[in-house]
Structure 1
Amino acid sequence: MISASNVQNEFPALSQHKPSLIKTDTDVPLTIAVNAIDENGERVEKHIACERPLTVYLNWRPIVTLMTLGARAESLALGYLKNQGFISDLKQLESVIVDWDVNSAAIITSESTADLEEKLSEKTVTTGCGQGTVYGGFMDGLDDIVLPQPQLKQSMIYSLLKNISAYNETYKNAGAVHGCGLCQDDKIVDFVEDVGRHNAVDTLAGEMWLKQDTGNNKLFYTTGRLTSEMVIKVAKMGIPVVLSRSGATQMGLELAQKLGITMIARAKGRHFLIYHGAENVELDAIPPKRPAKTS
């Protein structure tokens, strides 16, 4: 799968609680240039998003193959395994090996994963683009999650929406990707784009885990819809607020209500809808009402 002869140790001594990261020196492009014919019949050169498989291994056991853009594969693999309930203790991680020559990411731990085969046998097909399957450990620990009650302002939401528009570089260049952001007030702490919104949230989860960052003072932004799976992942990251440019599903809303997540969707420009947690949002920048339409 992964050859030790063509990899390099990028940061082997981060700390005793972080794994060593071994990566090939092969760069993968996020977009490629192609030719297309426009509406005027003219040939133009445009960029499209790359899409490639990444097989995630846990102690050399293949777990899943994700279709991904290819950015930050080590964090994507870690976040995926953590969110799915395969690993939970950062101290167990020994190394992360990413080899794009064979499209693989291997996570090596000091201990075997409890009930691994049982978890792998329990699959649920989901709406997740780029993934589409959750395993038996995905729902573990939800009843133990206690999220803080956030205090938000409408003006802060507007400022955040304005600021975050500068971060979707791949989308502006090629389209066909989702973006997810880890935010604090109206500042963007981290932003990830991928062909699947679940890849993007898992990548952020992996980054937070490696940095041992907490989500209690954060807000999670996504361009994708707020399904049950997205809400669960955000809750596992300890983040009390989700903000989406898209809409929400029934089960996504029900889980937000159960878990105490403030859910704001259809957020674009000066518009948004608070589906849950309206008491946590101070409406301090109400825009002028639109004039009524006349027949």
Structure 2
Amino acid sequence: MDQFIKQIPITRLHKDGTQEQVEDCVIREQRIALYLNGRKLLSSMSLPQDQDAYAVGFLMSEGVIESIRDVQSVEIAQDGLSVYIHARINEQNIENLFHEKTLTSGCCVGVSANFEGKIVEKFISTRIQLPIQRLWALIEDFAQPTHLFESTGCVHKAMLALPDGRKLISQDVGRHNAIDKVVGKARLQHIDTSESILIVSGRLSMEMVIKAAMHDIAIVISRSATTELGIKSAQLLGITLVGFARGEVCNIYTHPQRILHA
């Protein structure tokens, strides 16, 4: 894990005016290139970890790949800075990536294009329910710091809680990337995400909610805030949206019937 951390000399300034020369740990993000069917599709600033999961998760979140069965091969370059995917693709959605784009409100400014069209017609009607005791257990479990966060304070985390009790975890400098990675991990393992619960560290804006909807995830929980469009999209898409899930309180913004009280 330390290959993602670099120590640099800094000047630490204290409120009383004193200074000290110390070493600080910073994250080492890299530009990751994604190639699809022999064509360079895009580059993304990301943590060079779980690159295959990120690529699959991103392409499925965008509707470019509609099923994991459509993925024929995934290969990571030896230097870890390129991912090569061969797959059957939705030609219309891949064209949308190169037409009108939406700058997402991500901490590392991402780009997405497929927020319109079929997604607005989707409604997640799964019967998944979350007992309140498990809700708090998941919040407490998610709050446990990782080595990367403790060392740098510079990563987002996403956790997918599976119905069998397993948990998949991903980290990245971008909150969007962290989600793409964790759902990509699930897809690569042929896991049905429709009965899973997504817990994230970043704020819940519209594009974050849509990513969950593209993978049929009905319950999304964040330690952070949500936006008005995040709430509106969750309401329309049938997603239970929970924000400020830390300490001893949380806010349920939409579809609260899925949270079961004692």
Q: For 1:39-118, what aligned pairs fall within 5 Å after superposition?
A: 39=14, 40-99=18-77, 101=79, 103-109=81-87, 111=88, 114-115=91-92, 116-118=94-96
Shift of 1:103: 2.4
Alpha-carbon distance in 2 for matches of 1:201, 1:254 = 20
Alpha-carbon distance in 1 for matches of 2:96, 2:164 = 42
Shift of 1:214: 1.2
Q: 2:233 aligned with 1:255, yes or no?
A: yes
Specify every segment of 5 or more residues in structure 2 that has no aligned partner in the other structure, as ranges: none
Alpha-carbon distance in 2 for matches of 1:80, 1:213 = 16
User: Is the 1:215–1:239 Cα contact (8 Å) retained in structure 2?
Assistant: yes
User: Is the 1:157–1:186 Cα contact (8 Å) retained in structure 2?
Assistant: no
Structure with bigger helix share is 2
- Partner residue of 2:247? 269
Equivalent position amino acid for 1:93 in 2: V
Runs of 4+ in 1 over 6 A off after TM superposition: none
Alpha-carbon distance in 2 for matches of 1:178, 1:225 = 10
Q: 2:207 aligned with 1:229, yes or no?
A: yes
Shift of 1:218: 1.4
Q: 2:148 aligned with 1:198, yes or no?
A: no
Q: 2:7 aligned with 1:33, yes or no?
A: yes
**Which secondary structure does the structure 2 equivalent of 1:149 belong to?**
coil
Equivalent position amino acid for 2:103 in 1: V
User: Is the 2:34–2:43 Cα contact (8 Å) retained in structure 1?
Assistant: yes
- Partner residue of 1:157? 135
Shift of 1:247: 0.7
Equivalent position amino acid for 2:151 in 1: N
User: Is the 1:131–1:199 Cα contact (8 Å) retained in structure 2?
Assistant: no
**What is the aligned residue count?**
256
Mean alpha-carbon deviation: is it higher for 155-164 or for 199-208?
155-164
**Which secondary structure does the structure 2 equivalent of 1:246 belong to?**
coil
User: Is the 1:51–1:195 Cα contact (8 Å) retained in structure 2?
Assistant: yes
Task: Give me the TM-score of the superposition, normalised by structure 2.
Answer: 0.88
Specify every segment of 5 or more residues in structure 1 that has no aligned partner in the other structure, as ranges: 1-26, 285-295
Equivalent position amino acid for 2:172 in 1: D
Alpha-carbon distance in 2 for matches of 1:132, 1:161 = 27
Shift of 1:113: 5.0
Q: CA RMSD in A?
A: 2.4
Alpha-carbon distance in 1 for matches of 2:80, 2:189 = 27
Task: Give me the TM-score of the superposition, normalised by structure 1.
Answer: 0.79
Equivalent position amino acid for 1:248 in 2: T
Equivalent position amino acid for 1:79 in 2: G
Equivalent position amino acid for 1:246 in 2: S
Shift of 1:35: 2.1
User: Is the 1:256–1:262 Cα contact (8 Å) retained in structure 2?
Assistant: yes
Question: Structure 2 vs 1, CA of residues 83 and 174 (structure 1 numbering), >3 Å: closer, same or farther?
Answer: same
Shift of 1:73: 0.6
**Which secondary structure does the structure 2 equivalent of 1:207 belong to?**
helix
- Cα deviation 1:102-143 (Å, max 9, x = unaligned): 82212123x4652344542231222123352112x4445422
